[in-house]
Chains A and B, each alone.
Chain A
Amino acid sequence: MRFHLTRFAVATRFTLVEHGRNRFALVLVALFVPLWTFLAFTVLPETPAPMRLDATGEALSPPGNEVTAISGALNAVTLITGFMMFAATYSGSRFDRRLAMAGYPRAHLVLAKVTALALVSAVVAAYATAIACLTWTPRQPLLLAAALFCAALTYGALGVGFGSVLRREVEGMFAIVMTSIIDLVLQNPIMSSGADNPLLRYLPSYGAMQAGTAAGFSTSPVPGCLAIQLTWFTGAALIALVGFRRGTGTALPTTAQILPGPGPGSGKAVLPAPGRALAPSAAASDTEAH
């Protein structure tokens, strides 16, 4: 058990260190989230936007600026986690492969990435919820935080998926930005006259948008919407996992992979002094290619 915990803890620590070094993402979180929320709230009119909340069947008439603030917060958190995970995957895929080929269990690496994603998403969602609460008054702040968290998780997993298959940084950025814009603009009743179209149920942040709207303007619990969003996360995470497995696999038979050695494992291995030729060790062996 300690074996697994150590590997998981080391991988998680370094994954978080890596995210912490992503200064651009941190600046985006610090500035982008309040800016988006504040601008949406102040610039857009308070004119009611009549809508029917699919999740509960309720007819709502929330202020347009508050609906857009929810949409903007979702947009911000999804872009930030998507971008962070894409950047880490894109720049770190060869390093992950080297680690895996050196014997690092891939399950521990994956679990560390998921844990880091969950922590980053939780922090960003909590921050965005706090900003929302300072700007307007959502009816269910915890539900709003949960909706933002699930959406952030989903886009983080999508970012990992894009990072595994796309070959240029700009492609990944474009893919994440466009996915988030299409996803959220179509669902916003202020910007889209088709916001109640049944097709919208298949968009990646449908569950989060429904839960977020319910959190803002209703007192009904909507666990089903969060479940839908977590299903999207699971699907995106599975795609990301396939990409990770493909990118970190070895072509050698299992027995020939880099195995832990007796040498420095004991902490006593010492390089022979210059000019001192030792007899080949009993462990010395051949490599053959045919």
Chain B
Amino acid sequence: MHHAYRRRPVLRGVDLRLRGGTLCGIVGENGAGKSTLLKILSGELRPTRGSVRHGGRFGYCPQHVVLNDALTVRQHLTFFQTAYRLADARYAEEIMEILGFTGYADERVGVLSGGTRQKLNVTLALMHDPQVLLLDEPYQGFDWDTYQRFWDLAGRLRGAGRSVLVVSHLAYDTERLDELWRLDNGVLRQDAAVAA
């Protein structure tokens, strides 16, 4: 897969296969093209050349929270429950409990802290139990406790056979990952330490 913004190439031949039941990470410096790659994988952006194929339903958590400030947390859940055609929002409530923001269900999103908004951002990507989960800098704004619970959640999803792809500019906690890729100069290379 290749992508360029006008004449500036960002991705120069990325070939990626995400297997079921794996927890993968992609790291790279600022501006390396990580978010571009994830936008292409999620369908937000069409690559200049190449294609993406998802074998099953997927969830995408964008880097910048995409929420409606006028609606409450519960109204967001109802909106996306309708979008995903779910009978109820019990699974979303479970995720909310794990991430620790159940108490904000009736708060308007516009008045929530950055961390709580990010928790909802992640929940909306997860609430239909996707087989493939694409997360762009998912733990930004999380406190340490939530950060740990996030990784616990990711591990549990992997255990249930889901694929989780986490994109970040920092290579923290690489021991939690099954695969680590480094996006460098528009090319994806497997990180030797984790690959071994």
Which positions in A face B, CB cutoff 8 Å? 6-7, 10-11, 14, 17-18, 21-22, 91-92, 94-95, 97-99, 101-104, 250-252, 256-261, 263-267, 269-281, 283-290
- Taking the closest CB of chain B, its distance from the CB of A2, in whole angstroms, is 12
Complex CA gap A266/B60 in Å reads 22
Please judge, given known A-B contacts A271-B95, A276-B159, whether A284 and B56 are in contact too, CB under 8 Å: yes
Complex interface: chain B residues within 8 A of A280 (CB): 20-21, 160-161
User: CA of A288 to CA of B24 in the docked complex: distance in angstroms?
Assistant: 13
* Residue from A260, A263, A278 whose CB has the most chain B CB atoms within 10 Å: A263
The answer to whether A258 touches B44, judged by C-beta atoms less than 8 angstroms apart, is no
Do A290 and B163 have beta carbons less than 8 Å apart?
no
CA A282 to CA B25, docked complex, whole Å: 24
Q: Are B160 and A103 in contact (CB under 8 A)?
A: no
CA distance A272 to B129 in the complex (A): 12
Cβ of B54 and Cβ of A251 under 8 Å apart?
no
Known contacts A264-B90, A269-B91; A289/B50 CB under 8 A: yes
**Which residues of chain B come closer than 8 Å to A257, judged between CB atoms?**
43
A-contacting 9-mer, from B27-35, B65-73, B137-145, B172-180: B65-73
Q: How far is the CA of A261 from the CA of B131 in the complex (A)?
A: 9
Least CB distance, B52 to chain A, in whole angstroms: 5
Chain A residue numbers with a CB within 8 Å of B67 are 95
B156, A274: Cβ atoms closer than 8 Å: yes
* B156 and A258 contacting across the interface, CB-CB below 8 Å: no
Contacts of A284 in B (CB 8 A): 20-21, 56, 131, 161-163
Q: Given the known inter-chain contacts A92-B68, A98-B124, please indicate yes or no for A265 contacting B85, CB distance below 8 A.
A: yes
Q: Is B189 an interface residue (CB 8 A)?
A: no
Name which residue of chain B comes closest to A9, CB basis: B82
Q: A14-B75, A101-B60, A274-B156 are in contact. Are A289 and B51 (CB under 8 A)?
A: yes
Decide if B196 is an interface residue (CB 8 Å cutoff).
no
Would you list 26 pairs from A and B whose C-beta atoms are within 8 A, ordered by A residue?
A: A11-B79, A17-B75, A18-B71, A22-B70, A97-B66, A99-B79, A101-B42, A101-B43, A101-B44, A251-B43, A251-B47, A252-B42, A260-B84, A261-B57, A263-B128, A263-B129, A264-B91, A275-B159, A277-B159, A284-B56, A285-B131, A286-B19, A287-B54, A288-B55, A289-B14, A289-B37
Pair A250/B43 contact, Cβ less than 8 Å: yes
Is A103 in contact with B18, judged by CB distance below 8 angstroms?
no
Q: Assess the A7–B82 pair: CB atoms within 8 A.
A: yes
Give the chain A neighbours of B108 by CB distance below 8 A: 21
Q: Does B88 contact A (CB under 8 A)?
A: yes
On whether the beta carbons of B156 and A290 are closer than 8 Å, the reply is no
Residue of A102, A251, A260 with most partner-chain B CB within 10 A: A102
- Asked whether A91 lies within 8 Å of B17 as measured between CB atoms, the reply is no
Whether B152 lies near A288 (C-beta < 8 A) is no
B55 x A18 contact (CB < 8 A)? no
For residue A4, give the distance in angstroms from its CB to the closest CB of chain B: 11
